[in-house]
Amino acid sequence: MLDRTRPEPLWSQLLGDLRRRLGAGEFTGVFPGELALVAEYGVSRHTVREALRRLRDEGTVVAGRGRTPRLAEPVQIRQPVGALYSLFSAVEAAGLSQRSVVRTLEVRADGVVAARLGLEESTPLVFLERLRMAGTAPLAVDRVWLPERIARPLLDVDLTHTGLYAELEQTCGIRLSGGREDIRAVVPTPAERALLAVEAGVAAFSVERLGRVGEEAVEWRHTLVRGDRYTLTADLSARENYQLGLAR
């Protein structure tokens, strides 16, 4: 429950607890109304309304004047095929707040990844692991490896609410120009399901990306994305269909 001895405002504590319960899938049916939350948490309606306002702004609940709050329909994150996209930008384009929980940011050696980047196996790499959030819900687990010689300045950057590519350009002077991406459907492990807050049976996309600057490989990335929140899109033309042997 809420702790009135803490300096954190009660609405903020309430918001955090509601986010926790949402992430645990507690409100799969009906979301509690204002009066129910007032009674459960022993706080004022003003406190409840402020917490609900934040959830509404994040796109998690829908609540109009005089109406019981309800869970919003999950917003799909859409990504174009064949484009060097940013998950950060895609989440915000969907109208959701974007933030990352940085789980690891350090220098380490990884012989397998170094070989994929065309480097000696002992080459030091900056490794970044983030839990990517869309609104209040986890969306993806993102792991990135970059050569330390170009990415070391990132160790001093707060990456909780910024795009990695924007920081690479602003902080390191590096702008990716292309690369290759492989996408396949996978079944998350129990540990991955817990991180992504998904039920058993929900598939995920495994996305592996080799990012380049010109001909030089500078990024190896593995992203595991919730399949129920992520959509791949492609624009097709009649000419493209004909070339692919799909014309009728």
pLDDT band at 156 (very low <50, low <70, confident <90, very high): very high
Name the least confident of 14-23, 97-106, 150-159. Answer: 14-23
pTM: 0.68
- Tell me yes or no: is domain 10-71 CATH 3.90.79.10: no
pLDDT score recorded for residue 222: 96
Q: What are the sequence ranges of the domains in the chain? A: 10-71, 77-233
The mean pLDDT of the chain is 84
Q: Is the pLDDT of residue 129 over 80?
A: yes
Q: Is the pLDDT of residue 247 over 50?
A: no
pLDDT score recorded for residue 173: 94
pLDDT score recorded for residue 199: 79
CB-based contact 135:59 (threshold 8 Å): yes
Same fold, 10-71 and 77-233: no
Cα(first)–Cα(last) distance of the chain, in Å?
A: 62
pLDDT score recorded for residue 248: 47
Q: How far apart are CA 28 and CA 201, in angstroms?
A: 16
Exposed / middle / buried, residue 239 (Cβ in 10 Å: 0-12, 13-18, 19+): exposed
Q: Is the pLDDT of residue 213 over 90?
A: yes
Q: Is the pLDDT of residue 47 over 90?
A: yes
More confident site: 246 or 59: 59
pLDDT band at 245 (very low <50, low <70, confident <90, very high): low
Name the least confident of 74-88, 113-127, 215-229. Answer: 74-88
pLDDT score recorded for residue 92: 63
- Dig out the tokens for 16 from the structure: 């955090």
- Tell me yes or no: is domain 77-233 CATH 3.40.1410.10: yes
Nearest alpha-carbon partner for 141 in 93, 176, 92, 104: 104
pLDDT score recorded for residue 243: 53
pLDDT score recorded for residue 54: 82
Give the Å distances, CA to CA, from 244 to 156, 181, 225, 247: 47, 20, 28, 8
Q: How far apart are CA 82 and CA 64, in angstroms?
A: 40
pLDDT score recorded for residue 95: 65
CB-based contact 230:139 (threshold 8 Å): yes
**Highest averaged pLDDT of the listed ranges 144-148, 201-205, 228-232, 235-239:** 144-148
Chain-centroid distance, C-alpha 246: 34
